[in-house]
Amino acid sequence: MLAEKIDTEDQEYRGDQDASIRCFLNLLTSKTYQLQLPEACGRKCTGAHYGWLWTIGIDLQINLLHPFSRQQICLPPMLTFPDQYEYDETFKPQEVWDFFVRKIAMSSNPRKGNSLHDYNEDCTIVAIYGEFAILAFTKLGDTVWNNISVHSRVYQDVIFYNGKFYAVDCHGVVVVCDFDDANGPKATVIAPAPIETRDTYQKYLVELSGHLLLVSRFRKGYLFGDDDDEEDESDEEEDESDDEEDDKSDVDGNDNADEVEDVKDSDNEEKKKARYYTTGFSVLRLDECHEEGSNYAYRLTEVTSLGDQALFLGRNVSISIASSECIKPNCIYFTDDNFELYLNEPGGGGHDTGIFNMEDGSVHLNYAGESRSNISPPLWYI
């Protein structure tokens, strides 16, 4: 789903696009489709799961929205979350949208079968929320959110896998949620943080072929305190080397070299304009640990190939999909989910979107064209 075309400064819609229309880019057809969706107008849309979006309005009410049936399911509002700081009249709803409810995952489709009004009351929803990005849960029909006791803060992703909810924090520590503990719902550590990691790496959990993966996303840019001078120097050396290769290719009559170089130049220009951008990913698999004396139920094993699968990461629930004619195998498709930075980014979030190739480590930015917003940047709707 492409970004909402709204100017957050004066709340006036740009161009002549109807405020109730949202655009969807179909990767299979490479076509853009317009959908009348007045229920999403003026609301922050994010977090797609089981075909549902979750939206937040200026009233701080959280809804699940199915964009094709336009059915909505009300969840407990933001003000019912526990352990939150006080808001006063100086706070604007837009200032807490992103920081408060960061991500959600559901245990099942909230709708039973094809019925529009028969809800699945067994559907449990876990959210990463609040100033400290901790965990809470609710069930359809409940009126409040309930806390999950956690060992740390700043959780970055949550997923429902093999009948349980798993979450990962900024250090890469993976936990499983236990709702049946005698002392109340809690999160238990099952896997350690990766040896080589940083808190600035964005972490994701995704299921692939029955296994749970921990994916880390690497970014650069001066907002991350990187030394661009060294990178520019490296780019210049690479450019000189590429020029030599181009000369050789011209002699050999290799026309494809020019096309590859055009793509590379375009990506380099995008990086120079961006204050942050993705440079790569690492993928680890959680394997059961049977080592005597280990404090963890799982150990981390490096994954070098996704096979014929592709991963889709962003503000949506992370997911793997089999490759097809239009979905490249062994690749990671990603959208811009760095909300802590894009809130103040000129034009909003959306520029850090692209494809990472696991085989050669290349990153192709903005493959679908630029689509940006401070409120609702692009996200995967699957």
CATH class of segment(s) 21-221+274-365: mainly beta
Distance CA 209, CA 320 (A): 8
Question: pTM for the whole thing?
Answer: 0.84
Residue 262: is its pLDDT beyond 70? no
Per-residue pLDDT of 183-234, as tens digits, reads 999 999 999 999 888 777 899 999 999 999 999 999 987 666 665 544 444 4
Per-residue pLDDT of 112-157, as tens digits, reads 876 667 889 899 999 999 889 999 999 999 999 999 999 899 999 9
- Going by C-alpha positions, the residue among 154, 144, 159, 54 that lies closest to residue 107 is 159
Backbone angles phi, psi at 101, to 5 degrees: -105, 105
Average pLDDT taken over every residue of the chain: 81
Distance of CA 276 to the CA centre of its chain: 16
Tokens 């696991």 map to which residue?
A: 358
Whether residue 368 contacts residue 1, with contact meaning beta carbons closer than 8 Å, is answered with no
Distance CA 29, CA 370 (A): 18
